[in-house]
Amino acid sequence: HIDATVADFLSALVRYAVIAFTLIAALGRVGVQTASVIAVLGAAGLAVGLALQGSLSNLAAGVLLVVFRPFRAGEYVDLGGIAGTVLNVQIFSTTLRSADGKIVVVPNGKIIAGNIINFSREPVRRNEFIIGVAYDADIDKVKQLLTNIIESDERILKDREMTVRLNELGASSVNYVVRVWSKSSDLQSVYWDVLERIKRDFDANGIGFPYPQMDVHVIRPQEKTE
């Protein structure tokens, strides 16, 4: 079984090679000296190569992507700030489908020169929540509610470390950090559902979420007296 990413790359490479060899063979059949043609093509190739250094670097980068395979077709990645699902890796570029359905073509050279983040390779991933509550909220009660919420969710992996800690005394709130692990496929749904559950349970227990407030003092100019 050949990986889809490798298959796409090799098929494109073979296609261009077949076209080149077919052209040379056809010229030979009509009496053209193929040795001369190859020499001319070699010289032309050198000139074109110098003019198209960027394209050649993309080709070399494509080879590196296929050899080392930091991502495969179907995986969700971030390539230097461009995120999406990998559709294929061609000899000069890689095609992604963004989360909102856009098709994005990224030059292979740009991918190799930047950071590659693969969100799909690991089977489990961690969610982190920063929850700010009012200063008058009881610390133990807040921590217990948060613990109950994450322990009751079956998608959260109980054999991985679960963190519920007071993290920061902010300007207008006491901030708690919650860290949990789940399967990568459940990551987004766990985040949304836990966040909604926190809001509902905190409201039911009278724990408020503060918001920044600003006091505005209006100074009126004094009227002039004669």
The amino acid occupying position 220 is R
Domain covering 4-118 in this structure, CATH number:
2.30.30.60
- pLDDT exceeds 50 at position 212: yes
Contacts of 91 (CB under 8 A, 6+ apart): 9, 12, 13, 16, 58, 59, 62, 108
Span(s) in the chain for CATH 3.30.70.100: 124-204
CATH class of segment(s) 124-204: alpha beta
| Mean pLDDT to the nearest integer, 127-152 | 97
Q: CA nearest 118: which of 89, 75, 82? A: 75
More confident residue, 12 or 46: 12
Residue pLDDT, tens place only, 48-72: 554 445 677 888 888 889 888 899 9
Contact 153, 194 (CB under 8 A): yes
Pairwise CA distance, residues 179 & 153, whole Å: 13
pLDDT of residue 213: 67
Sign, Cα dihedral of 13, 15, 18, 22: negative
More confident residue, 75 or 43: 75
Span(s) in the chain for CATH 2.30.30.60: 4-118
| Mean pLDDT to the nearest integer, 82-106 | 94
What percent of the chain has pLDDT above 90?
Answer: 59
pLDDT of residue 205: 97
More confident residue, 27 or 76: 76
Q: Is 36 exposed, middle or buried (0-12, 13-18, 19+ CB in 10 A)?
A: exposed
More confident residue, 191 or 92: 191
